[in-house]
A and B are shown apart, each in its own frame.
Chain A
Amino acid sequence: DAGITQSPRHKVTETGTPVTLRCHQTENHRYMYWYRQDPGHGLRLIHYSYGVKDTDKGEVSDGYSVSRSKTEDFLLTLESATSSQTSVYFCAIRADRAPGELFFGEGSRLTVL
Chain B
Amino acid sequence: KNQVEQSPQSLIILEGKNCTLQCNYTVSPFSNLRWYKQDTGRGPVSLTIMTFSENTKSNGRYTATLDADTKQSSLHITASQLSDSASYICVVSSVRDDKIIFGKGTRLHILP
Q: Chain A: residues with CB nearer than 8 A to chain B?
A: 33, 40-45, 90, 99-107
Contact = CB atoms under 8 A, between A and B. Distances in A.
Interface string B89-104: 1010100000010111
B25 to A, nearest CB: 14
B66 to A, nearest CB: 13
Q: On chain B, which size bracket covers the interface?
A: 20 to 34
B89 A106 contact: no
Given A40-B104, A42-B102, A101 B89 contact: no
A43 B4 CA distance: 12
A105 B43 contact: yes
Given A42-B89, A43-B89, A99-B51, A104 B104 contact: no
Contacts of A44: 102
Interface in B55-93: 89, 91, 93
Contacts of A43: 44, 89, 102
B49 A106 contact: no
B24 interface: no
